[in-house]
Amino acid sequence: MARTAVLGMPRMGPDRELKFALEGHWAGRIAADELNETARSLRAANWKRMAAAGIDAIPSGDHSLYDHVLDVAWALGAVPQRFGDARARGLDGYFAMARGDVDVKPLEMTKWLDTNYHYLVPELTPGQEWSLDASHWTGQLAEADALGITTRPVALGPVSFLLLSKGLERPLSELPRLVSEYAQLLRELADAGAVEVQLDEPCLALGRSDEELEAAAAAWRSLAAVGPELCLATYFAAPRGEELRRLARDFGAAELHLDLVRAPEALDEACEALMESETRLSIGVIDGRNVWRSDLDAALSKVDRAVVALGSEHVTIAPSCSLLHVPHDASGETGIDEEVRGWLAFAVQRLEELSALGRAVDADAGRDELLAAGRAATESRRTSQRTNDQAVRSRAASLSEADYSRPAPFETRHAAQRERVPLPDLPTTTIGSYPQTDEIRAKRRARKADEISQADYEEFLRDQIAQVVARQEELGLDVLVHGEPERNDMVEYFGEQLDGFAFSANGWVQSYGSRCVKPPILFGDVSRPEAMTVGWWRHAQSLTEKPMKGMLTGPVTILQWSFVRDDQPRSETCTQVALAIADEVSALEAAGAFAIQVDEAALREGLPLRAEDQEEYLRWAVDCFRLTVAGARADTQVHTHMCYSEFNEIMDHIVRLDADVISIEASRSGMEVLDVFAGELEYPNEIGPGVYDIHSPRVPSTDEVERLLELAEERVGRARLWVNPDCGLKTRGWDQVNPALENMIEATRRRRAVVAAGV
């Protein structure tokens, strides 16, 4: 019969236990033993829950104290020289690579393919020395075995590890040497009792060259000969055509996993490719990245097709990817409207769905009973009036081409903006948020618990804004922000004020390290009932003569960082959100705002992973940003911000955004990301590359910031350059923010003085 498998589980725990243990350890309140015990208990709870659900292939080794890519780099001994003998320092060394040390930068961080999860980028050198320590996997395998639970160890595969690293001109040239380390890992796992091992190779689903596929196939055949059965897991896209046939035919894997949520068309090709093979097909028919209850009839239809083609013993039923990307359990979300709650499935409910599918495969007569609850939820959502708003749909349908463009080209806008608000050379600003202190969080909790009145809460927030504005004045920043003390999250804050959203109480997912986000649940048509930010902006602007940015989150980022309805094209949903945010842009401008920032931190993140699918997404995503700001006057300065991203292949679309100022994260890469902004397709507008890394607690020196500014000037020129941190400052403490901003301002003064002196 067909078996069931899970590729990975959430790490933080149902109540974010790991988050609080990590932060307690970093603060010196919790010893390493206590942190490790918290992690062990969370792993055990996951294993027991999967075993109770009857899951056949249960993962181990997927649970990490920070990041699964860092785990592999650490295990292989890929420790950059600046960290010294980090492995001899144990957890302190591990966390130094993730978070930095006193005078040592951490590893660069970037998005995990097209998700909002961030991974740490391994730094490799030609002739990289490897030194395997398999204890991360053998230890977790033994923990599960002690509970009487057989698990399948999970690790990032060698091909994807190299392709996702930096420092090698030809990454796969290192593959033959690296494979010997992976072979040793497999031998140690086999000695520890592992019968099968899952190696994740998402990069093999993204369209690889013949040379890359041949190198990957040779490596995998070598590993397949070592001992434990290997599952080659791809996800977030699916290989196609000859690429898929080669993975099925030439790699020697005992099982090939495909994401059939993202690429349902791959099923028939895969069945054909595996028809005469002993390789099992693992079909990802349960969405591992969204929270809607599955249409189990549609999923079972795919399972049935695979079983008919290959035989049930050659089929594994699985989520599309690791369940790392969904919250833990929806059953306790009693604050969500009962109808909407009935449409939701978090990780625990995904296990129930997998169990139901596994039992339904061989239970033709009992299928109706097994699928009844899922069918009812699917039908309820399909027919609910709450998912449709005719006024919203009519407005979107009436849009014309003229609704997507600013009233004047950049050169005209630039002159009008400088006439309205003259700014100095190298204007300084920050990205938006300031520290979300314990005091702010406590007041927010007190208001939610109705322990303080709304009036008292708002007075507290006004005082917080006044303090932030005064601090920026003292520092000498040129364009100010109000600090966003009223915002719990840059997406959730807006979703709470828009129609069409629901919110969980405990729907947390990991973003990086201990950082968790709680995405809104976008279930219906979206509209803006009333102004969302104007009152706070007015208060902040009244406290200063300097320009105060209005701070908004863009439509693509709201889409990407929400759990989005999947019953209509994402482009239609994004257009609705764009119209709602456009109304707020107009309201801020009418209130007198000179600068309005519409953050699109996730624009690059949403890019489909396969090149042939990207153009359509980029067209509608950029159009939605343009729709949001098209109504702004020429003398209103439109800013946008983007998080860690590779811009090379989408530079023409970044240009088409036509923001007056774009700020990007650049410090960890030493301004390397700016190379594309000064390349053949030079970015024509103004740009603020981040000059210090806010994701690390370390404070950069003035000299360090000045050097980054010099590098930025060399790449894009002074005339177009702004000075700002990499991102918002909400996750940092004032003890870090104050000196860092002081150093940023002093470095800017030095650069201005150099030009003034004609040096």
> What's CA 491's distance to the chain center, in Å?
13
pLDDT in tens, 47-66: 999 999 999 999 999 999 99
pLDDT beneath 70, residues of the chain: 365, 644-646, 679-681, 756-759
Query: Which regions of the chain carry the CATH code 3.20.20.210?
Result: 3-385, 412-497+532-756
Whether domain 412-497+532-756 has CATH 3.10.129.10: the reply is no
Residue-level pLDDT at 758: 64
Q: 232: closest CA among 163, 301, 157?
A: 157
pLDDT at residue number 504:
94
pLDDT at 680: 64
| Cα 100 from chain centre | 21
Fold category of 3-385 in CATH: TIM Barrel (3.20.20)
Q: Is 639 a catalytic residue?
A: no
Closest CA to 141 of 62, 67, 65, 77: 62
Whether the CB-CB separation of 13 and 326 falls below 8 Å is answered with no
Structure token pair of residue 382: 């399909």
Q: Residue 441 forms beta bridges with which residues?
A: none
Q: By CB neighbour count within 10 A (0-12 exposed, 13-18 middle, 19+ buried), where does 118 fall?
A: buried
* pLDDT recorded at residue 679: 67
User: pTM for this one?
Assistant: 0.87
Tens-digit pLDDT profile for residues 483-502: 999 998 889 999 999 999 99
Instruction: Give the pLDDT score at 372.
Output: 86
Q: Is residue 569 within 8 Å of residue 617, measured between CB atoms?
A: no
Closest by CA to 597, choosing from 649, 537, 653, 524, is 537
309-364 pLDDT per residue, tens = 999 999 999 999 999 999 999 999 999 999 999 999 999 999 999 999 999 998 77
Which entry of 63, 118, 639, 695 is annotated as an active-site residue? 695
